[in-house]
Structure 1
Amino acid sequence: MGIRSLMGIRGARDKPRNSYAGSALFFLFGRSTSGKPVNERTAMQTTAVYSCVRILAEAVASLPLHIYQYTDKGKERVADHPLYPILHDEPNEEMTSFVFRETLMSHLLIWGNAYAQIIRDGAGRVLGLYPLLPNKMKVDRADNGEIIFIYSRDSEENLNFSTYGQIYLWRQDALHIPGLGFDGLVGYSPIAMAKNAVGMTQACEEYGASFFANGANPGGVLEHPGVLKDPGKVRESWNAVYRGTNNAHKIAVLEEGMKYQQIGIPPEEAQFLETRKFQINEIARLYRIPPHMVGDLEKSSFSNIEQQSLEFVKYTLNPWVIRWEQSLQKALLLPEEKKEYFIKLNVDGLLRGDYQSRMTGYATARQNGWMSANDIRELEDLNPIPEEEGGNLYLINGNMTKLKDAGLFARNDTEKEEEPT
């Protein structure tokens, strides 16, 4: 359907509708109460935000991504599905699967939404996926109730578009992964929602940088007993000689009874370091990242750091994984395929403990019959043992039996003894 017909669908404005534009982020982004402007790019200049976004984006991008098929025995991986190489290897000619997922995940963590253009063939099968910038996307609803995506193209970020300006995409032409939102249609930016915390982090970093740029000395005033004809010249000459890290610890020479009086608060008195540490934890709390993963090891030890890592997978990473899986299945699988196939990001490797714990768990599973040798070897990324050598056998201890059969052998022996010879 052409642009004209789409605009005709959207012509009526007298009905309630859901709409969300990338430009609407500006009512959330902007100047924080600390006075620092906060947007998606200035936020990424803070080490805490960059670290949290990088941790989650790389974690999701590095997970094995496969397509599975439901079978009578459970599930099996389907490597020959047309969608498999697109998701697992190359979503498009310019990106690997890792880079594509890392890019979309960073969009999701900064803007609260991730979008990609879906290229399909005549039968509706997916041929490629291309990222779209969230701040240029508007999600709207046509009068017939169908969701449409309106992308404002003003640069060469996507060569599949031949024109500039507003480009309309139907729901089947766009992959949308929304974050936490209020209406279920779009997500809201974590950075925008926590702009005061991010702004304070920026203010702390700028204060520290300016403090050292000033020679690690707080501000002060020069007092003169008389009347200065040109105070600006005195101030400039003082700054030229004593201001900056290169001029730190120089001996000041004061003339004509002039005195220097400090008026700034030294960082240690303002608890500067404690404030910076708190703000790092504040950003980590925003993204639910364990402090030890952003470099704060104060409350971490050998006894709890592994548990914190497992909690990161279960409570932080897993919700994002589910968002990805369900969004990919909804947008990429054909309607008739959804009953037979599903897409899964495998986090099992991240949930494994240390070597000794894994071996103990495997031994328990092997001895109690719910895992075979090949099941264990698959989890450890080892080649299977041939079936004729017993690789797929399920074993149990011979001294274990059902409660109702307890004493069965003893009764049989007694019955044999009582039988007449």
Structure 2
Amino acid sequence: MSFFLHRKTEKRDDRAVNSFVDFVSFNDSKITSNFIGESALLQSDIYTAVRIIAGDIASAKINVQDNEHIYDLLNKKANNSTTAYNFKFAMVANMLLNGNSYAHIERNDEGIVTGLRVLLPSQVVIRESEDDGKVIDYKVTFTDGTKEIDYEDMLHFKAFSIDGKVGKSPLYSLTPELSMLKNGNSLLASFFKRGVNSSAILKLKEATIDNSSKREIKKQFEEINAGIQNSGGVIVLDDTQDYLPIEVNTKVLEMIQNNKYSTQQIAKVFGIPLSRFGQELMNTSDSQQNDIYITSTLNAYIQAIEQELAKLNCCVEFDFSTLRSMDKNTMLAKAIQQNGGNGFLKVDEVRTFYGLDPIGGDGGKTIFVNSASVPLINEVIKNE
């Protein structure tokens, strides 16, 4: 079977094409060409979105059926130098930022999985057969050379895919919004950097000078008067000069500073509730938004991840009970906080929560009530 090198990940191949699209679509190609990959984290809303999704998935426990060793790899330590949390976080973050994330499944001579190691998308080339287009293996570039890794020995998470082989980052759809946001922030930063003397006219009375002299006078004037360090200072002029400040429309600056459109678009693309970005919700509660976020956004990623983890030869399932506040410890704490556990919990459960030793026996199994009430079990016996 013959094969050829499939296109490399976005960092190597697709970026060149998209950079050209950015160039012909926007005036400033430098602003739009750095939205994919790690550099996108310089934008705070992108950083927040990636941190939220990657953090929520990484912190979720993964249940593994009848395989304690794989359970430890996915929940405790992925390899000898990486914790399971950091492994899962890095995999999801790369998937969101680059569209693809890769991890080498390390096995011993007997084929038993010994570790999971994250690879950078820029290291990996997907190779597929020439006749049927199926993925054969992955060619990985290391510092000491290249290595071919079989399809079954590579975890490949894709954020969004058209052909099922290569992923696309959600950031592609945000290029116009991020471009507008960055331009607005640059304008705002430039305004405050220049201080109160951000824009003005310096008139030279009864003087005719060339452009070179004008530039020199402008340079010398700004050295003495411009900048934050000179804000509020005294401007010294002679009889031949007249300084006229130009008023800046502060409404424009307020619009830039209070702009929520880009944040809303980023939240929409990533499927994250606006409340997680610090914006107030009008018609829905936080719990409702959180449930929608889990069932729609996270579930879509989890289905793809769980199916890819089948390469570990076991059945896995993510547990989001903690994120839903449905785990035992959270529910116990909530019951205690609401009414001291009265009528909800057993006596030993309440004692354990407060760090006391259980009393055991029937007394420990009795439903806890406060001292002014009668234990429910006594009422049941009476009625019988």
Output the TM-score relative to the length of structure 1.
0.69
Given that 1:218 and 1:264 are in contact with CA atoms closer than 8 Å, whether structure 2 keeps it comes out as: no
Query: What is the rounded CA distance, in whole Å, between the counterparts of 1:306 and 1:216 in structure 2?
Result: 46
Inter-partner Cα distance in structure 2 for 1:264 and 1:67: 65
In the alignment, structure 1 residue 148 sits paired with structure 2 residue 136: yes
In 2, distance between residues paired with 1:385 and 1:143? Answer: 71
Q: What amino acid is the match of 1:130?
A: R
Matched, 1:192 2:160: no
Residue number in structure 2 paired with 1:364: none
The 1:219/1:56 distance shift into structure 2, 3 A limit, reads same
Q: Which runs of 5+ in 2 are unaligned?
A: 337-342, 366-384
Which of residues 172, 182, 190 in structure 2 aligns to 1:202? 182
One-letter amino acid of the structure 1 residue matched with residue 234 of structure 2 = I
- Partners in 1 of 2:359 and 2:159 — Cα distance? 44
Bigger CA drift: 200-209 or 382-391?
A: 382-391
How far off is 1:179 after superposition?
1.4
Task: Sort the Cα spacing of 1:324 and 1:261 in 2 relative to 1 into closer, same or farther, 3 A.
Answer: farther
- Partner of residue 224, structure 1: 204
1:115 to 88, 95, 102: 102
Q: Output the CA distance in 2 between the equivalents of 1:34 and 1:275.
A: 24
Distance 2:119 2:358 in 1: 42
**For residues 219 and 194 of structure 1, what CA distance do their matches in structure 2 show?**
32
Say whether residues 1:41 and 2:1 are aligned partners.
no
The percentage of counterpart residues that share the same residue type is 21
User: How much does 1:389 deviate?
Assistant: 9.9
2:191 corresponds to which residue?
A: 211
Gaps of 5+ in 1: 1-7, 69-77, 156-162, 334-340, 361-366, 392-421
Q: Bigger shift: 309-318 or 91-100?
A: 309-318
CA separation of 1:193/1:167 partners in 2, compared to 1, >3 Å: closer, same or farther? farther
Q: From 231, 235, 247, give the equivalent of 1:248.
A: 231
The equivalent residue for 1:411 is none
**Number of aligned pairs?**
341
Aligned partners of 1:355 and 1:322: how far apart in 2?
A: 27
AA partner of residue 14 (structure 2): L
Alignment root-mean-square deviation, CA: 3.9
CA-CA distance at 1:53 after TM superposition: 0.7
Aligned to 2:87: 100
Q: Which has the larger radius of gyration?
A: 1
Q: Secondary structure at the match of 1:322?
A: helix
Q: Aligned pair in 2 of structure 1 residues 321, 175: CA closer, same or farther (>3 Å)?
A: same
The 3-state SS of whatever aligns with 1:188 is coil
Offset, 1:152: 5.0
Which string of whole-angstrom CA distances, capped at 9 and with x for unpartnered residues, describes residues 198-231 of structure 1?
2222222222222211115543332323223511
Which residue does 2:147 correspond to in 1? 167
Contact 2:188 2:253 in 1 (8 A): no
- CA drift of 1:291 comes to 1.6
1:193 is paired with a residue whose SS is helix
In the aligned structure 2, how far is the partner of 1:326 from the partner of 1:384? 43
Once the two structures are superposed, the pairs formed by residues 283-362 of structure 1 within 5 Å of their partners are 283-297=266-280, 299=281, 304-329=285-310, 331-333=311-313, 341-352=314-325
CA distance in 1, matches of 2:136, 2:268: 34
Seen in structure 2, the aligned counterparts of structure 1 residues 170 and 277 have a Cα distance that, compared at 3 Å, is same
SS of the aligned residue for 1:350 comes to coil
Q: Say yes or no: does 1:28 pair with 2:18.
A: yes
CA distance in 2, matches of 1:181, 1:309: 26
The one-letter code of the counterpart of 2:141 is: R
Q: Would you say 1:89 and 2:76 are equivalent positions?
A: yes
- Asked whether the 8 Å contact 1:111–1:135 carries over to 2, the reply is no
